[in-house]
Chains A and B, each alone.
Chain A
């Protein structure tokens, strides 16, 4: 099979799997609420394209998803399961907000800070793995919780960060950037005019796509990427080749952490949302896992899987009054779950093609 052909099969199989996922989601809706199933499915599929505002929201949500997906995918390529994207994302968000509100820095400096924060949170699981061979899954899960409570603790002790400081009476969330430091809001780059004055849209999706391309270049074109992937595929053979596997594990976790951290920065510097002190881990980091899996950890593919999941989510949230949020979450999960069967579909298609090839030869 030619390379182009293989890519085509890959794309076709993804599309088929997604279609099957949507079908199952629809069947589930029929079971749960037959009267409104058709309408609900319609809402889910069309909301993102119904008006420019929602269309913009799809991009707005896709950007941090993409960053978390890249984070998980990058670590995967090095043979690490970074389940700590959530913690890195939270720390990244805190660093960005601290830069914006506490230090009154411009948006780009805050984004850099968010990378630094995420990277710091990635170092720990990386070091534990490299030095003591502690499974990174365990450490990064623990660091999700440590990260969240640490941020809550810090914010609770920094009254100048909270919205109450700016005269809005709540102490459970950070100050709105429009009050605290408008220069820290990621610029719209004129996109809001194109998107019919959508309040969601800004240049973050461009930043995220640029980072995705950068990651693809690093993994596929550089000797650094060659080393990282070698460690991921076969650690023993990398040692044999003289590659410093431990150094690469730490570096890979630092980069993965920085990617998640940037995701947190992008999301909270959009100016549309405030960080709320909560007692549960932010789900964005975990959503990065299906984003990476759907794209088979390929950085470019991650762009599309992030958009797809964001599209479903935007549609899902518009179903709210008619369906409970739990129902919507189940539907979304089913769709994502089945979409992840792309690999299986690919094998089936390949078999089918092989058979038809043979028939042609015989005829």
Chain B
């Protein structure tokens, strides 16, 4: 046998109402390789992996392990075959300890009592061996996202899984944590474990993967050796056209002050300390100001305070000369603030509403869309179709698609369409490209720059340094609730990293 395949998925087809998520897809995983699965949002990557993990049943096609046809009806079957998966959204019990989470479902018991000693030994040995640092007695709700991911990985190892699936593992990690993860993955490879790595970040594929299978719109585009390809080629396979990696920005005259924040203090929900401590800054028309920082340094609370989702403790917020410090959300919306929220499922969309209902979420009460208190459904439909066309929001049934059934990228596009079309004075965009593919990222970046070019103020909160560097006109670094650095976009990422980590700081004045 020329190729030693540990898992083969042959001609897999999976349909959902209105959409063919996987159309005759073949994926062959060699023993001891890191195999990347690349594709835009909605290309069918997650569906394919869910078929392999037993969460969905394919309509046609077969799965082979070591050349033998197998049937995977549920995750327990997958587990028995040595297949483990780290999901994009972790499946951990928040109020359990790390150790409890790892052994959950495969506990050793004696006379009905849990036996922790053996389990603890095994977990610590694995943790040592692969450099997966965890505190076995900490509660999951108390540990960082990076450690949560290590717990998920340990869960797979504890079950002696040989085939490890990573579903977009880097989306939630800081740059340093990503490097660590790559190192760990290489370690697994040396051990002879086989890895399936779902991602849409090309640089990570180039860094760590041996081969890469590309999907586009549910179809198989091909499998390539990473060593003999380039980023450009991969992205072309994925998107179907050439992709611009650099954002072109023309220089724009800085306009008047749109947003002015003075000594803002926002309380924290997690602890007694304030999450935002006396922060002051301005955002002008025609500029993109970026708040950079490592996750959890008060960015979320700052945005909540600005947008009215949380009350402000002290300080003032002025939008276009109007004091909105204590204004309700609706008044801020009407006064020209748009908000692309960090969590599109929690805040951005009502998932059980249709696309068109979501597109008028802040406008349904406007004269245009109502008639004496009744919804003017004709106008809503017309408006939704206009946005769907001009922002290329794709879905199974157009305006009447239930938002829940749309892919993440198209959900985000819908939110961006809604927020930009309101023609705001200030656009607050929090992690607008989180979890999106290059095609969508390119598009969203272009839209943000267009807003800036049109003279609007853009406040961008991002954890991705690449995004920060390519988009911002001005960068503010946030650390432990304070602004500790202000730069223009010529600063080096290394320098920025020092401020983000709290190693250096400067006085920032508005």
Contacts and interface: CB of A to CB of B under 8 A. Distances in A.
Identify the interface centre among B309, B347, B351, B369: most chain A CB within 10 Å of its CB: B347
Interface string B98-125: 0000000000000000000000000000
Interface stretch (B127-135, B189-197, B223-231, B370-378): B370-378
A234 B362 contact: no
Given A233-B351, A234-B351, A226 B357 contact: yes
Contact of A221 (B59, B328, B351, B375): B375
A1 B17 CA distance: 8
Nearest to B361: A241
Contacts of B357: 226
B330 A242 contact: yes
A244 B309 CA distance: 12
Q: Chain A interface: which size bin?
A: 20 to 34
A221 B374 contact: yes
A241 B329 contact: yes
B306 to A, nearest CB: 13
B383 interface: no
A272 B373 CA distance: 40
A237 B364 CA distance: 14
Nearest to A242: B330
B88 interface: no
Interface string B334-357: 000001010000111111110001
B365 interface: yes
Interface residues of B, number: 30
A243 B328 CA distance: 9
Interface in B42-68: 59
B404 to A, nearest CB: 10
A230 B329 contact: no
Contacts of A240: 307, 309, 329, 339, 341, 347-348
A240 B350 CA distance: 10
B353 A233 contact: yes
Contacts of A234: 346, 349-352
B362 A223 contact: no
B333 interface: yes
A242 B350 CA distance: 13
Given A239-B309, A241-B329, A242-B329, A226 B349 contact: no
Identify the interface centre among A234, A238, A241: most chain B CB within 10 Å of its CB: A241
Contact of A237 (B331, B348, B370): B348
Interface of A: 1, 221-224, 226-227, 229-230, 233-234, 236-244, 358
6 closest A-B pairs by beta carbon, nearest first, are A242-B330, A242-B329, A240-B347, A241-B361, A233-B352, A234-B350
16 contacts: A1-B17, A223-B365, A223-B373, A226-B364, A227-B364, A230-B350, A234-B351, A234-B352, A236-B347, A237-B347, A239-B309, A239-B329, A240-B307, A240-B339, A240-B341, A241-B362
